Structure 1
Amino acid sequence: MTIKKVLIAILFTLSMLIMVGIAWLMANPLPPIYPYGPATRITANDHVTLRAFGDVKGVHRYHIESKDVNSFYIKALLHYEDRWFYYHYGVNPFSLFRAAGQWIIHGKIISGGSTLTMQVARLIDPHDRTITGKLHQIARSVQLEWYYSKDEILDFYLNLAPFGGNIEGVAAASIKYFGKHPKLLNKNEAALLVVLPQQPSRYRPDRYKDKAKAMRNKVLARLKGGSLINTVQLDLLVDEPIRLFTHDQPPLAPLLSRYLKSQHPKNHTITTTIDFELQSRLNTLMKRIGSQLPRKASAAAVIVQNRSAEIIAYQGSVNFSDLSRFAHVDMARAIRSPGSTLKPFIYGQALDMGLIHSKSLLSDLPSNFNGYKPQNLNGYFSGPVTAEQALQKSLNVPAIQLLNRITPQRFEDKLATANIHLSHQDANLAVGLGGTGTNLMTLAKLYRALASRGEVTTLRTLKIDKVQLPLGNQLDPATSAILSPESSWILFQMLSSQSAPDRVIPSTRRKIAWKTGTSYGYRDFWSVGVSPDYTVAIWVGRPDASPMLGYLGATQAAPIMFDAFDLLPEDQSTLAKPAAVHQTLICWPSGRALAQVPHRDCKEQHLALTINGMTPPSMDLYGNFTLSSQWPIKLAQWLVSEKAMQPSMLLNQASTPATITSLKSGQHYYRSQVDILPLTSSSIQKIQWFINHKPITNPQLHLNNYLGETVVSACINTDCDKQTIFIHP
């Protein structure tokens, strides 16, 4: 009966304890592991740190898993701190009894008897060093073991353990003190980091090197006892001094890092597509450029690998440490006027719509498009130009001539299919000359299409994050065709056939299609170039939008763009010509193929790049196809007024024989009476004169050179008028 009562009492007590435990657990759920949010590390594509951000309290930690830490460190940590870690349920009763005995014997706490789980519990939920606090810690440890696996708890310790100052976690400590990834720790470094969390403020090696060395050696001695090192190794290791890493690496791609941190605030690690070595070289280049810029001026650069659409280098300001240049303003994402940089895509749409080929006749002359009067930057007009010349010279009127025919709304709708939206209120012609807003990232995205068969793809900046799921939809970027493969290839040829600005010989010869832009008021200077493998976009200007008079995109941004290309390896790809692109001889002024134009209508011949052999007729100034083979009316009027051409010279006339008007067959002339006879004809076209079937350069007949029957001929092409005269002494 007594035994029965005892059993009942024990069961009752256990039940009560379980109920109390359940009630406590319900009333005291586990606090968040990272109560002040993650400390985020932004890395390059090879996991080298670009920039690190502390948590809300300013604590820095680099999130890591045990499999990515040196195995000797893990073994040493478990042997020194909690060798029964994988066998207990959060609490090691033998360690607690030993700690209690030491407390009773010595009257003070000698060791806490804490397991790694208990240390994690104290880190996420600090408590007083009292019996009540210890019980609270034990309860939290049991909670941790209930909710998480042993490996997860070990990872929590690796990331939360204090290492002095605002450094938490073995990864941040390894990089701060030794300048290396924790996978690369040697035995001495690992031993020091094992003991440092016990009293980080007292053992910090950067402040108390002797104390740190003594504690390191204490750990090494215990590791020898655990057979993790032998006697020979111990003797060698304890004599080694502590060697610290003292070079602070300035942040790379700091503004991109800041942007990604703001977009993904819950991630511990964000791995980017940035190439660390390339980013370092670009950073050096931009700092050098910064020293040459005017006061308050900055610059930005974006480099894209075309095949993957990955951003492999990103510089949001010219020098992140130069606050006088508004260094913390990210000009790669700032909305600014793009100047002439949108023009290639106007020409591309015109090619796809069958409005032009590469040598179509366009009009660069004073014009008025319903009140909009575009001017060229130099104030001059060129008159008749090919589409290729107009684009290369960045002439404004031809671009508006095409945009007026396409219509601004249709142009913008096509951009919108690739999720590219310009910043202005209503679609208008001024958009073609920079009367809108966009940014460097968008231009890099657009120009990449010229080497990607006309396809615009969302640019990638992120790899897979090691802690969270893949960030956003970055692994499957959206792709839209903004140009046809044919028009994009033709644009590439048009833009790559122009010469680069004066500069030293490039380190790598490559074919680059490039375009510059200068915004209204000389506030923004752009240059964007694309090779088969890479796209480079450059902006220069003042972030406060004050003007930089005397500068141009061609003189300020283009040299930087070509210097950035010099940082890149040699292109491995070539752009294959689409089968539908043909070279076709065309005629001016009609713009049609030579085979389609009567001989008399072909004033000039040009070798054009066409799509499917299409040769649309020339357009007048306002975008309408001309119905005749004559020069467009406005262009003809300009040629007469500005180039002093006779109206009859602009007409396409049949090649009929010219009539010689100064001589008649059968006439007789005497040298004693006449020295020179002028030769004239009825034609206004260019005449080739012959005397006795031999050509002469001046339309004059010198009688002293001839005697007897003399034949004078006036020819237009192969059609001639002949007169036979007689010359006497």
Structure 2
Amino acid sequence: MIIKKIFVAISFVLFMLIMVSIAWFITHPLPPIYPDGPATRITANDHVTLRAFGDAKGVHRYHIESKDVNSFYLKALLHYEDRWFYYHYGVNPLSLFRAAGQWIMHGKIISGGSTLTMQVARLIDPHDRTITGKLHQIARAVQLEWYYSKDEILNFYLNLAPFGGNIEGVAAASIKYFGKHPKLLNKNEAALLVVLPQQPSRYRPDRYKDKAKAMRNKVLARLQGGHLINAAQLDLLVDEPIQLFTRTPPPLAPLLSRYLKSQHPKNHTINTTIDFELQSRLNTMMKRISGQLPRKASAAAVIVQNRSAEVIAYQGSVNFSDLSRFAHVDMARAIRSPGSTLKPFIYGQALDMGLIHSKSLLSDVPSNFNGYKPQNLNGYFSGPVSAEQALQKSLNVPAIQLLNRITPQRFEEKLAAANIHLIHQDANLAVGLGGTGTNLITLAKLYRALANHGKVTKLRTLKTDKVQLPLGNQPQPEASTILSPESSWILFQMLSSQSAPDRVIPSIRRKIAWKTGTSYGYRDFWSVGVSPDYTVAVWVGRPDASPMLGYLGATQAAPIMFDAFDLLPEDQNPLAKPAGVQQTLICWPSGRALAQVQPEDCKEQHLAFTINGMTPPSMDLYGSFTVSSQWPSKLAQWLMSEKAIQPSMLLNQFAAPPTITSLKSGQHYYRSQLDMLPLTSSHTEKTQWFINHKPIAEPQLHLSDYLGETVVSACIDTHCDKHTIFIHP
């Protein structure tokens, strides 16, 4: 009977304890593991840190899992702190009894008897060092064990343990104190980080090296007793001094990091597509360039890998540490006037609509499009030009001539269908000359289509990674077609056949289709280039939108763009010509194929890129196709009034003098980098070439035959264009 009563009493007590525990669990839910939000680390594609952000209280931690930490550190941690971690349920009774006995004997707390789970409980829910506080800690530890696995609890400790100042977690401590990933810790470093969380303010190695060394050696002695190291190793390790990492590397891609942090505020780690080495070189290059820019001017650059649509380098300002240049303003995303950078896509749409081919005759003459009177930047007009010449020279009237025929509404609808949205009120012709708003990211996305069969895809800045918390990224949307493969390829050829600005020939020669832009009022300077494998977009200007008079996109942004290309490896994927692109002999002034024109009406022949052999007739200034083999009326009128040229004389007068298009005066070339330079002019078929005033049979300059200052001349009859270049060994 007594035994039965005892059993009933014990059962009742256990039942009440269970009920009380359940009630406590319900009324005291676990607090959040990271109550002040995550401390976010932004990493390059190889997981090297680009920039780190503290949590709401400024605490820095680099979120990791146990598999990312040196195995010796984990063994040492469990041996020193909690050898029975994987066997108890949050509380080790033997440790508690030992701690209680020490307290009774010495009258003070000698050791806390806390398990790793209990330490995590105290970190997420701090308590007083009292009996009541200890009971609260025990209850929280049991809660943790109920809700989480052992590996998850261990990960919580690895990320929450304090290591001095605003540093939490072994990863942040490893990088701060030793400049290395926790996977690379040596035994001495691991031992120090095992003991540092016990009293981080007293053992900080950057402040108290002797104390830190003494505590490290205490851990090593304990590890030798546990056979994790042998006696010989112990003798060597305890004599080693503590060697700290003192250099703090500057952040890389800081403005992209800031943007991604704002977009994903709950993430511990955000792994980007940025190539760390390339970003480092771009950052160094931009800092060097900053000294050459006008006062308060900044610059931004974005580099995209075409095949993957990944942003592999991102510089939002020219120098993040130079506040006089508004360094914290991200000009890669700032909405600015794009100048002439949208012109190629006007020509592309005209190609796809069958309005032009690459050598169509366009009119660069004074014009009035319902009150809109475009002017060229230099204030002059060129008269009759081919579509290719007009695009390369960035002439305004021919671009508006085409946009007027396409209509601004249709042009913008095509862009919008590919998720390219321009910022302005109403569709109008001024959009073609920069009367709208866009940013560098959008232009990079747009120009990449020239090397991607005319398809636009959202640029990627994030890598997927199992270590990360979910970023919520949906699968990449399917590419949107903005141009046909044929027109995009033809545009690439048109834009890549123009000479680069005066500069030393790069070590890697690549074909680059490029275009510059200068906004109204000289406030923004752009250059965007596309090679088969890469797209580089550059902006230069003042973030406060004040003008930089006397500058142009070609003189400010283009050299930076070409320098950025020099940082990239050689292209591996040449662009294949689509089957629909054909080369067709066409005639001016009609614009039609040679086979469709009477011999007497073919005043001048050009070899044009056409789509499926289509050769649309030339357009009048306001978009009407000519119905005869005559010069467009507005163009003929302008030439007769301004140049005193009769229609029958137009060919001869326009053809002379020629213009050299394959090189510019002042360029430097090296025999070690280049064997031969092809020579081209605005009228290649009729040009006679001279080098150092001596005629040559083929339009080619072989560098081995010349050295030093070299004069290249292109002549038709007595009219010549002359450029001076420099050839080096």
What's the TM-score, normalizing by structure 2?
Answer: 0.89
Q: After TM superposition, list the pairs within 5 Å mapping 1:98-177 onto structure 2.
A: 98-177=98-177
Q: Which residue of 1 aligns with 2:280?
A: 280
Match of 1:343 in 2: 343
2:180 equivalent in structure 1: 180
One-letter amino acid matched to 2:200:
P
The answer to whether the 8 Å contact 1:465/1:471 transfers is: no
Q: 2:311 matched to which residue of 1?
A: 311
Matched, 1:583 2:570: no
Corresponding letter in the other structure for 1:400: I
Matched-pair contact (CA < 8 Å) for 1:268–1:467: no
Q: C-alpha distance in 2, partners of 1:208/1:170?
A: 19
The answer to whether the 8 A contact 1:630-1:651 is kept is no
8 A Cα contact 2:496 2:512, kept in partner: yes
Q: CA deviation at 1:437?
A: 0.1
**1:707 aligned partner:** none
Computed over aligned residues only, the root mean square deviation of the Cα atoms, in angstroms, reads 1.1
Amino acid at match of 1:560: I
Query: Counterparts of 1:185 and 1:468 in 2: how far apart (Å)?
Result: 22
Structure 2 counterpart SS, 1:355:
coil
- Residue 648 of structure 1: CA displacement? 5.0
The one-character-per-residue Cα deviations of 1:618-677 (angstroms, maximum 9, x if unpaired) are 00001111111111110010110112112454699xxxxxxxxxxxxxxxxxxxxxxxxx
2:221 is paired with a residue whose SS is: helix
Shift of 1:203: 0.3
The corresponding residue for 1:592 is 592
For the pair 1:434 / 2:438, whether they are aligned, the reply is no
Counterparts of 1:14-33 in structure 2 under 5 Å? Answer: 14-33=14-33
Greater shift in the superposed pair: 374-383 or 16-25: 16-25
Distance 1:153 1:651 in 2: 84
Structure 1 position 610 matched with structure 2 position 614: no
* 1:377-435 deviation line (CA, Å, top 9, x unaligned): 00000000000000000000000000000000100010011111000011000000000
Q: What is aligned with 1:386? A: 386
Distance 1:467 1:230 in 2: 35
User: What does residue 258 of structure 1 align with?
Assistant: 258
Q: How does 1:39-54 map to 2 (within 5 A)?
A: 39-54=39-54
Q: CA deviation at 1:473?
A: 3.2
Aligned pairs for 1:454-469 (under 5 A) are 454-468=454-468
Pairing 1:631-710 to 2, within 5 Å after superposition:
631-647=631-647, 649=649
Once the two structures are TM-superposed, the CA of residue 474 in structure 1 deviates from its matched residue by 5.9
Tell me how many residue pairs correspond in the alignment.
Answer: 652
Work out the percentage of aligned pairs sharing the same amino acid.
Answer: 90
Q: d(CA) in 2 for partners of 1:472 and 1:504? A: 46
Contact 1:459–1:477 at 8 Å: present in 2 too? no
Other structure's SS at 2:505 match: coil
Specify the alignment match of 1:326 in structure 2.
326
SS of 1:591's equivalent in the other structure is: coil
Report the 3-state secondary structure (helix = DSSP H, G, I; strand = E; otherwise coil) of the residue aligned with 1:52: strand
1:545 maps to 545
Partner of 1:203 in structure 2? 203
- Give the Cα–Cα distance (whole angstroms) in 2 for the partners of residues 545 and 452 of structure 1: 33
**Residue of structure 2 equivalent to 1:724:** none
Gap runs ≥5 in structure 2:
653-729
Mapped contact 2:267–2:471 kept (Cα < 8 A): no
Write the deviation string for residues 265-310 of structure 1: whole angstroms up to 9, x where unpaired: 0000000000000000000010011111111100000000001000
CA shift, 1:466, in A, is 3.7
Distance 1:477 1:643 in 2: 54
Aligned residue in 1 for 2:476? 476
- The answer as to whether partners of 2:603 and 2:651 remain within 8 angstroms in 1 is no
| Residues in 2 aligned to 1:429 and 1:103: alpha-carbon distance in whole angstroms | 86
Deviations for 1:106-129, whole angstroms, at most 9, x for unmatched residues?
Answer: 000000000000000000000000
Q: What does residue 371 of structure 2 align with? A: 371
Structure 2: how far apart are the matches of 1:575 and 1:623? 32
Matching residue of 2:36: 36
- The question of whether the paired residues in 1 share the 8 Å contact of 2:526 and 2:558 is answered with yes
Amino acid at match of 1:148: Y
Shift of 1:2: 1.6
Shift of 1:467: 4.2
- 1:72-125: CA deviation from partner (whole Å, max 9, x where unpaired): 000000000000000000000000000000000000000000000000000000
Match of 2:55 in 1: 55
- Structure 1 equivalent of residue 559 of structure 2: 559
Contact in 2 for aligned 1:279/1:312 (Cα 8 Å): yes
SS in 1 for 2:404: helix
Equivalent residues of 1:256, 1:316 under 8 A apart: yes
Aligned structure 1 segments of 4 or more residues deviating by more than 6 angstroms: none
Amino acid at match of 1:83: R
Once the 2 structures are TM-superposed, how far is the Cα of residue 7 of structure 1 from its aligned partner?
A: 1.3
Whole-Å separation in 1 of the counterparts to 2:490 and 2:464: 37
Deviation at 1:523, TM superposition (A): 0.1
Equivalent pair of 1:175/1:181 in contact (CA under 8 Å): yes
- The residue that corresponds to 2:706 in the other structure is none
Question: After superposition, what is the alpha-carbon deviation per residue over 1:348-387, rounded to whole angstroms, capped at 9, x for unaligned?
Answer: 0000000000000000000000000000000000000000
Does the aligned pair in 2 maintain the 1:630–1:650 contact within 8 Å?
no
Per-residue Cα deviation, 1:200-230 (whole angstroms, up to 9, x for no partner) = 0000000000100000000000000111000
**Does residue 75 of structure 1 match 2:92?**
no
CA displacement at 1:525 relative to structure 2: 0.1
In structure 2, distance between residues paired with 1:472 and 1:360? 48
Q: What is the Cα deviation at residue 472 of structure 1?
A: 3.6
CA distance in 1, matches of 2:538, 2:650: 44
1:475 Cα deviation (Å)?
Answer: 4.8
Is it true that 1:521 corresponds to 2:529 in the alignment? no
CA distance in 1, matches of 2:272, 2:583: 43
Q: Whole-Å Cα distance in 2 between the matches of residues 447 and 340 of structure 1?
A: 13
Query: Are 1:86 and 2:86 an aligned pair?
Result: yes
Tell me if 1:404 matches 2:404.
yes
For the pair 1:530 / 2:540, whether they are aligned, the reply is no
Please state how far the C-alpha of 1:573 moved relative to its aligned partner.
Answer: 1.1
In the alignment, the residues of structure 2 paired with residue 373 and residue 257 of structure 1 have an alpha-carbon distance, to the nearest angstrom, of 44
**Aligned partner of residue 83 in structure 1, secondary structure:** coil
**TM superposition shift of 1:470:** 4.7
In 2, the alpha carbon distance for the partners of 1:280 and 1:556 equals 22
Q: What is the identity, as a one-letter code, of the residue corresponding to 2:156?
A: F
Cα offsets for 1:544-577 (capped at 9, x unmatched): 0000000000000000000000000111110001
AA matched with 2:456: V
Larger Rg: 1
Task: Return the offset for 1:468.
Answer: 4.3
Partner letter of residue 193 of structure 2?
A: L
Name the aligned partner's letter for residue 602 of structure 1. C
Counterpart secondary structure, 1:251: coil
Given that residues 117 and 144 in structure 1 are in contact (C-alpha distance below 8 angstroms), is that contact kept between their aligned partners in structure 2? yes
- Name the structure 2 match of 1:447: 447
Q: How many angstroms apart in 2 are the aligned matches of 1:339 and 1:328? A: 24
Q: Which residue of 2 aligns with 1:572?
A: 572
With normalisation by structure 1, the TM-score equals: 0.89
Contact 1:463–1:475 (CA<8 Å) still a contact in 2? no
1:397 aligned partner, one-letter code: V
What is the rounded CA distance, in whole Å, between the counterparts of 1:390 and 1:20 in structure 2?
85
Distance 1:625 1:142 in 2: 84
Local SS of the residue matching 1:400: helix
Cα separation, 2, equivalents of 1:440 and 1:471: 24
Q: Cα offset for 1:469?
A: 5.1
Residue 477 of structure 1: CA displacement? 4.2
Task: Note the C-alpha offset of 1:311.
Answer: 0.3
For 2:561 and 2:226, the matched residues in 1 are separated by: 60
Amino acid corresponding to residue 294 of structure 2 in structure 1:
P
SS at match of 1:539: strand
1:221 maps to a residue whose letter is A
Whole-angstrom CA distance in 2 between matches of 1:365 and 1:634 = 8
Question: Is residue 99–residue 113 contact of structure 1 (8 Å, CA) maintained in 2?
Answer: yes
Question: Displacement, 1:541?
Answer: 0.1
Equivalent position SS for 1:522: coil
Q: Structure 1 stretches of 5 or more lacking a match? A: 653-729
